[in-house]
Structure 1
Amino acid sequence: MTISEQEVAEICVRTMLASDQAAHNLGLTVDQVAAGHVIVSMLVTENLLNGLGTCHGGHIFTLADCAFAFACNSRNQMTVGQHCSITYVNPARRNDRLIAVAKEISQQGRSGLYDVRIANQDGLVVAEFRGHSRAVGGQFVDMEQV
């Protein structure tokens, strides 16, 4: 039986999410999955606010980093982040639903480049994240066991 690229992506992201405690603690949901492309969202709750009453940048970064991780592992190659950066554009506020859209820009050999745009439910851009990935060898999921 041949497993499609879409099925591989869904299995890999579902497997990662099942053991990702940081994602669970933030209440992240995976809304869409494709090879090299993932949409993840979270609700800004009171416990995610900083001293200024806006969403703490570390939580926004974690949302982006999770989307990046899911996207770069969606092709079933064990991959880690090698370098990433984030630019905060607008504050996120309590009860905002933050939507992180991760897309693969380039994947050559062991190196990948991914952009993640985080916007609120109204489409206001909150942050732009760029991640560089590095495949470390091996597969994330043994597809023969699936």
Structure 2
Amino acid sequence: MSEVTPASAAMHQRDQVAKGLQIEIDRAVAGEATASLTVTLEMTNGLGTCHGGIIFSLADTAMGHASNAGDARSLATTASIEWVAAAKQGDRLTATSRTVATRGRNTVHDVDVVNDAGETIAIFRGQTLTLGGSVVDAVGDRPE
């Protein structure tokens, strides 16, 4: 991880899905985050391309870090994705999330997912709800 807030680092340390998918958090500051992964054979579908759910998970992870990096717990309430191009085994995918609108406790995020050649793979839009409370202190009953 490079430029990440303490809240983002704490959240990533507890994220078992991100660990399983080998998602790296490249940058996470309040309202902006970048996450990446390399497509493995296990991430491909029956047509030999990256499963759409993997791409969605990467984009959702980037949005989660953008919305939680300021250390105020936020959860996704809606999300949609447009798959523009196929990704294949060996591709390095990068999801960049940015806040585009905020009203009260609701925030809209746009996430662009590109491959290592800079080609757009997917466009994701999601909304989060800020619940409050510290991300750093939100341990719950998850294993460390």
Instruction: Give RMSD over aligned pairs.
Output: 1.3
Greater displacement, 101-110 / 13-22: 101-110
Report the CA distance between 1:33 and its aligned residue. 2.1
Question: 2:97 is matched by which residue type in structure 1?
Answer: A
For the 8 Å contact 2:107–2:127, the answer to whether it is kept is yes
Report the CA distance between 1:26 and its aligned residue. 0.5
For structure 1, which runs of at least 5 residues remain unmatched after alignment?
A: 1-6
Q: Which residue in 2 is equivalent to 1:95?
A: 90
TM-score (norm 2): 0.90
Aligned to 1:84, the other structure's residue is in SS state: strand
Report the CA distance between 1:63 and its aligned residue. 0.4
- CA displacement 1:41-98 (0-9 Å, x = unmatched): 0000000000000000000000011111111111111100010100000000110000
Report the CA distance between 1:138 and its aligned residue. 1.7
Q: Which residue in 2 is equivalent to 1:29?
A: 24
Question: 2:50 is matched by which residue type in structure 1?
Answer: C
Q: If each structure's helix is expressed as a fraction of its own residues, which one has the higher value?
A: 1
Aligned to 1:66, the other structure's residue is in SS state: helix
The structure with the largest alpha-carbon Rg is: 1
- CA displacement 1:8-49 (0-9 Å, x = unmatched): x61011001000000000001111222210111000000000
Q: Which residue in 2 is equivalent to 1:126?
A: 121
- CA displacement 1:93-146 (0-9 Å, x = unmatched): 11000000011112232110101100000011000000100012322225xxxx
For the 8 Å contact 2:29–2:70, the answer to whether it is kept is no
For the 8 Å contact 2:5–2:70, the answer to whether it is kept is no
Aligned ranges 1:1-146 → 2 under 5 Å: 10-142=5-137
Q: Which structure 1 residue ranges, 4+ long, deviate > 3 Å from structure 2?
A: none
For structure 2, which runs of at least 5 residues remain unmatched after alignment?
A: 138-144
The aligned length equals 135
